[in-house]
Amino acid sequence: MPITNLLEENCKKFGEDICLVEINPEVKEVRRVTWKEYELMEPSPLSHYRREITWNVFNEKSNRFANLLLSRGIRKGDKVAILLMNCLEWLPIYFGILKTGALAVPLNFRYASDEIEYCVNLAEVNILVFGPEFIGRVEEIADSVSRNRLLFYVGENCPSFAEDYNSLSANCSSQSPSVALTDADDAAIYFSSGTTGFPKAILHNHESLMHSAVVEQKHHGQTKDDVFLCIPPLYHTGAKMHWFGSLISGGKAVLLKGTKPEYILDAVSKEKCSIVWLLVPWAQDILEALDGGKIRLEDYALSQWRLMHIGAQPVPPSLIKHWKTYFPGHAYDTNYGLSESIGPGCVHLGVENIHKVGAIGKAGYGWETKIVDEQKNTVAKGEVGELAVRGPGVMTCYYNDEAATKEVLSEDGWLYTGDMAQEDGDGFLFLVDRKKDVIISGGENIYPVQIEDFLRNHNAIHDVAVIGLPDKRLGEITAAVIELKPDMACTEEEINQFCHKLPRYKRPHKIIFADIPRNPTGKIEKPKLRERYCGMSLVAAQNRG
């Protein structure tokens, strides 16, 4: 069934229960307010750091926006883009779009003006909804993008080139629009991370969205009593599909605007969060703050926190071992996915398999996996190949890009992920690296993730990325870009000595101490690092023999 049905059902069962809370720790709290109190106040959404809404209000807001869209000529198959930071308005707007039969098109909040324009044109967007953080960027392209589409603004002091979402939607009917939807109907367009150029538009239908909700609950067992802490950006499939576990169970979710360790633990404590999805850097920050005595567990109420799970990148086993020393009672899970497979869940470890930490797991609920060679033949267990997945959550296509679709999606439904993996004797999958990130040095395939996992065991290293740099003799050599922990010192000689435990061909040829750039979903931006360092002279690269 279409995922909008879950929202309607929650209103019938849990209408007056709180479903969403927004917390902004960066803004001074005056006092906590309910949504009804908030709407009676003078407009000033940033004067209070906590807002909340019920399932009834959520649905009402969605219906009002849906009816506004319909009044402006939006019809089934049209597209409405969302360019907002995480906020209470985000999800009601998303569901309002879906209720019209239009496609929701979430946009990355880091996009520059030219990327915004590129994406709304590629997806053939009819309406762009944006927030106050994006006024400058949208204004730069307003003349061109507004020729064929409407601009709705969510916030105070609506700019002259847009229309005011708040006042317009408030005057629309709160009744659900009568638009028939089926599982096969197109529902959303998400964009790839764009690490190799401008992003691709990924088309999903309602079956994909609904399957991701079912998968999330099957994997993590959400109940009505669970409270999910959502920190990553909602434009990304990962955050939203994990929130679908709250949607399908009728549970509360908390949108936290901030990633400092004290913010996270404070939100878990005060909002009684039981499930928290973290990215690797945030988990590392929490551990370092605990190790350094900057935060103390006894200052927070954390007994209800039952599950910590991580996705978006390979998880160092050393991190989870360290985590369990502070949180021995936590269940742990990791999820693998990509936007083409509607985010996390096509592979998952399973809370019962913490002994296999380091693996991404096995095929998720309703999914199939295989590992193939260059000719798409399945490889033997233990051999490295490209991971392929198949299931109800695979994308329909890359929108308006038939050639790119054929490169990754077979006629029988297999999605070739571009990730290199291997399967152990117990059937667990281990992610080796991105196909495009594999380093070929002297004819030897080197997988950066393996070296990164090793280096993270060094007590002075906060983060690390291994990339290939051009070399006349070997083709490529490995370079380790290392970000040290605050107040920690380390030398190149010490790192080289530490790496003597590695096989000779895996030892980095060059050590670079620098910050590691990551995107909003926690993935290391290796193209930026390669661009930054590939021009460096390697003449003086030391022989590590």
Question: What local confidence, expressed as pLDDT, does residue 40 receive?
Answer: 47
What does the pLDDT look like over 163-179, one tens digit per residue?
A: 999 999 999 999 999 89
Name the pairing type of β-strands 429-434 and 415-423. antiparallel
The mean pLDDT of the chain is 88
State the DSSP code for 518. Answer: B
What pLDDT, in 10s, does the model give residues 455-491?
Answer: 988 989 998 999 888 876 677 889 999 999 888 889 9
The confidence score (pLDDT) of residue 439 equals: 83
* Residue 263 lies inside a defined structural domain of this protein: no
Q: Does residue 151 lie in a domain region?
A: yes
Residue 538 has pLDDT above 90, yes or no: no
What confidence tens digit (pLDDT) does each residue in 38-67 have? 444 444 443 348 899 999 999 999 999 999
Residue 467: its H or E element:
strand 461-471
**CATH code of the domain in which 492 resides:** 3.30.300.30
CA pair distance 378, 223, nearest whole angstrom? 38
Asked if 347 and 364 count as a contact pair (C-beta separation under 8 A), the reply is yes
For residue 315, give the nearest of 291, 334, 299 by alpha carbon: 334
Q: What is the band of 528 on the pLDDT scale with cuts at 50, 70, 90?
A: confident
Predicted local confidence at residue 541, as pLDDT: 34
Q: Are 185 and 76 a contacting pair, CB within 8 Å?
A: yes
Q: Is residue 338 situated within a structural domain?
A: no
Residue 19 has what pLDDT?
Answer: 97
Strand order in the sheet with 475-484: 461-471, 475-484, 510-513
- Of 380-394, 422-436, 469-483, which one has max mean pLDDT? 380-394
Does residue 242 lie in a domain region? no
Residue 538 · residue 476 · CB < 8 Å = no
Say whether 345 sits in a helix, a strand or coil: strand
- CA dihedral in degrees (118, 243, 102, 235; nearest 10)? -10
| pLDDT exceeds 50 at position 31 | no
Tens digits of residue pLDDT in 228-247? 999 988 998 888 899 999 99
Structure pTM? Answer: 0.81
Task: Give the per-residue pLDDT at 129.
Answer: 97
pLDDT for the residue numbered 41: 45
**Pair of tokens at residue 499:** 């790496």
Reported as a single tens digit per residue, the pLDDT across 265-283 is 999 999 999 999 988 878 9
Domain that holds residue 490: 440-533
CATH number for the domain spanning 199: value is: 3.40.50.12780
d(C-alpha 203, C-alpha 206), whole Å: 10
Is 70 exceeded by the pLDDT of residue 22?
yes
Question: Is 165 within a domain?
Answer: yes
Q: Is-contact 283 330, C-beta < 8 A? A: no
Task: Answer whether residue 369 is part of any domain.
Answer: no
Confidence band of 522 (pLDDT split at 50, 70, 90): low
> Could you give the 3-state DSSP secondary structure of residue 431?
strand
Helix (H) / strand (E) element for 248: namely helix 237-249
Q: Which pLDDT belongs to residue 312? A: 65
Question: Residue 535's pLDDT is what?
Answer: 58
Nearest in space to 203 (alpha carbons), one of 401, 382, 362, 336: 401
Q: Are 449 and 480 in contact, with CB atoms under 8 Å apart?
A: no
Residue 357: pLDDT above 90?
no
d(CA 98, CA 107): 16
At position 180, the amino acid (one-letter code) is A
> End of a domain among 171, 194, 220?
220
Tens-place pLDDT, residues 75-84: 999 999 999 9
* Structural domains counted in the chain: 2
Q: Which of 220, 236, 271 is the last residue of a domain?
A: 220
State the residue for tokens 């006042």: 167
Beta bridge partners of 276: 229, 308
313 pLDDT band, cuts 50/70/90, is low
> Is the pLDDT assigned to residue 195 strictly greater than 70?
no
Among 165, 193, 220, the domain boundary falls at 220
Q: Is residue 326, in this structure, part of any structural domain at all?
A: no
Q: Tell me whether residue 272 is in a domain.
A: no
Confidence (pLDDT) at 120: 94
**Structure tokens given for 112:** 């520059």
Q: pLDDT digits over 90-134, tens only?
A: 999 999 999 999 999 999 888 888 889 999 999 999 999 999 999
Q: And the tokens for 110?
A: 């880091």
Q: What does the buried/exposed string (b/e) look like for 349-371 if buried means 16 or more CB atoms within 10 Å of the residue's CB? A: bbbebbebbbbbbbbbebbebbb
